[in-house]
Structure 1
């Protein structure tokens, strides 16, 4: 695990050779990127209300980074793989076979949102591909293989990589860590080679009930919970992203061949299909309930009284058990870096 200790401009970053970048000595690290000692790791975390959070003062990410939250994210990845029915959608596999360099931003534990396994498994499947992952906390493995390189950095600050360094940039559920998503797209466009692939995936921060004339009337407490979360996020400067990804990519003027798709994850045991019903039960219990519990500290710090937060979570949990037909929408979008004439 390495830490980037400066905000390098494009002129400052090292123009590393593609072959050299695959060496185990991480030859593209500059003098401003230093390796963390194991004794340094605790300094990047802060305990609040019994939960463990990042200690990066400028980063807006509101959720804990402790074991329960990591287990929730891991379960979410496995459910997504089962819902999508394959390791990856679109040309991801072809890109990583044909090219040499992949960047995963806000990498967390190293999990890859649209495949069934971790970045480490992708690296094993594609040993000639270099995988870089960046995050604000050192929760990825400390002993990655030679073609995987984890680095600590805040995606809201200038990325240190040179222009055109990557063939694929992957952004999985990063919006709660991002203050300006269009600016992030500018960064992604800069570090992608012409024709390189950008892939983003985001959950809607609400629920839907397909076919319901008024979902708010059917599940008022569920919408009240997500409204409270949205208001608290706005207080930190975090805007909704999922439904805007496609438009932002088109409006940037730096991407082409933009393609979007939306999936629906069932919540609860209402689906008639046995496989979807199993997904819905696990998603309701392991993902949605844990997500609500993980948001409790954030809501309290945003002005909610502790008893009001618990009442809100209790009412939300009751509707998760009793309201049929609820789904959570998962938005995916991919685009190619525009090839300039």
Structure 2
């Protein structure tokens, strides 16, 4: 993995950021090379438009759910192609939107109040503390080695009263891992392999969705809200809104699956390019089978950084201590 000599310096940008790694027909980032599994090529950029639309459907055309009325400083961590940041800049023209990613964002046009930066959010943040009204994170499961530390950094860089909103989707589905049905076995094999890669090979969990609320509590946030959704895979639900989400959920898997598995399976599981392509083709046939009724879980968790007067102070050393035993 490439590591610049000074992790807080922009000196490495000209050399490592603008070079790319080409592997198995896909293009990957060079800055902190190997620390993120997804490509950054044009095919992945097109796929990210699908995911962005799916998130908008999930939140019913809202860009965030936290009760932020007029944010002036916003940070979007892991912005990808920058679609969320651009929409935020359009929606709040008086706000300054800073959007960061390991790769240079490929947006060709953007409002003047959005600024894209190449940065690794796993390093110590260089932005001033107490800066942001809203920090937004979406779809970074499998990308952060120490989530509790990431949450603490987020807390430090929010203004008192500012909000942190984190959205993730699960890498497993409602498939029965004990079933002998072909579709169940395919979905279960994928999630089992991804969890193995995340926890044993890269050191970065792909089960972030299960711990977001506790991470937020541990970092000191208050007024925490957790919203739970599902992404149907295919238009099988009878509910019209879920059916529409299912159409996009199916496309999410069709367009994104190779990107999810190619680097992980070839780098860490020892699969060949041909083996991955065969697995991708088999999975797409399962996803397209309209008899199946699968879905993945989605969560949105947001919390507020308390004002100083809201933070409880530990008792002074002169305070008496009482032990209460319960039977």
Q: Same fold (TM over 0.5)?
A: yes
Instruction: Give CA-to-partner distance per residue, 1:270-290, whole Å, 9 cap, x none.
Output: 222344334323321x21123
Is 1:76 the equivalent of 2:51? yes
Counterpart residue number, 2:60: 85
The answer to whether structure 1 residue 105 and structure 2 residue 77 are counterparts is yes
Post-superposition offset of 1:59: 5.5
Instruction: Give 1:105 shift.
Output: 0.5
2:323: which partner in 1?
none
Unaligned runs of 5+ in 2: 310-327
Q: Per-residue deviation at 1:316?
A: 2.3
Q: Is 2:228 the counterpart of 1:247?
A: no
Displacement after TM superposition at 1:306 (Å): 3.6
| Structure 1, unpaired ranges of 5+ | 9-31, 113-118
Q: Is 1:336 equivalent to 2:301 in the alignment?
A: no
State the TM-score, normalized to the length of structure 1: 0.79
Match of 1:288 among 253, 259, 269: 253
Other structure's SS at 2:296 match: strand
Q: Of the two structures, which has the highest relative contact order with CA contacts closer than 8 Å and spacing of 6 or more?
A: 1
Distance 1:147 1:321, change over 3 A: closer
Residue by residue over 1:193-233, the C-alpha shift from the partner in whole angstroms, topping out at 9 and shown as x without a partner, is: 11110000011011125xxxx45515111110121122222
| Aligned residues: CA RMSD | 2.5
Matches within 5 A, 1:123-162: 123-141=89-107, 144-162=110-128
Post-superposition shift, 1:257? 0.8
Measured at CA, do residues 141 and 283 of structure 1 come closer, stay the same or move farther in structure 2, by a change above 3 Å? same
Match of residue 304, structure 1, among 266, 271, 277: 271
User: What is the CA–CA distance in structure 2 between the aligned matches of 1:261 and 1:316, rounded to whole Å?
Assistant: 29
Of 259, 262, 277, which residue of structure 1 is paired with 2:228?
A: 262
Residue in 2 that maps onto 1:221 = 186
Please state how far the C-alpha of 1:133 moved relative to its aligned partner: 0.7
The match for 2:130 is 164
Q: Could you give the per-residue CA deviations for residues 299-326 of structure 1, whole angstroms, max 9, x where no partner exists?
A: 1122123444334333322322335220
From 24, 29, 32, give the equivalent of 1:54: 29
TM-score by length of 2: 0.82
Counterpart of 1:291 in 2: which secondary structure? helix
**Alignment-derived partner of residue 38 in structure 2:** 63
Aligned length: 298
CA distance, structure 2, for counterparts of residue 307 and residue 145 of structure 1:
42
Alignment of 1:236 onto 2:208: no
Structure 2: distance between partners of 1:185 and 1:273: 36
Asked if 1:120 is matched to 2:92, the reply is no
**Deviant stretches of 4+, over 6 Å:** 34-37
- The answer to whether the Cα contact below 8 Å between 2:159 and 2:305 also exists between their aligned partners in 1 is yes
Q: Residue 186 of structure 2: SS of its match in structure 1?
A: helix
- The equivalent of 1:23 in structure 2 is none
Structure-1 separation of matches of 2:262 and 2:10: 35
CA 1:5/1:259 → structure 2, altered by over 3 Å: closer, same or farther?
farther
- How far, CA to CA, are the matches of 1:140 and 1:310 in structure 2? 27
Pair 1:327-2:302 in alignment: no
Q: C-alpha offsets along residues 245-297 of structure 1, whole Å, 9 cap, x if unaligned?
A: 00111122x2111110111111113222344334323321x211232211223
CA distance 1:89–1:170, change in 2 (3 Å): closer
Question: For the residues of structure 1 that align with 2:53 and 2:61, how far apart are their CA atoms?
Answer: 11
SS at match of 1:177: coil
- Give the match for residue 29 of structure 1: none
- State whether residues 266 and 325 of structure 1, in contact with CA within 8 Å, keep that contact through their aligned partners in structure 2: yes
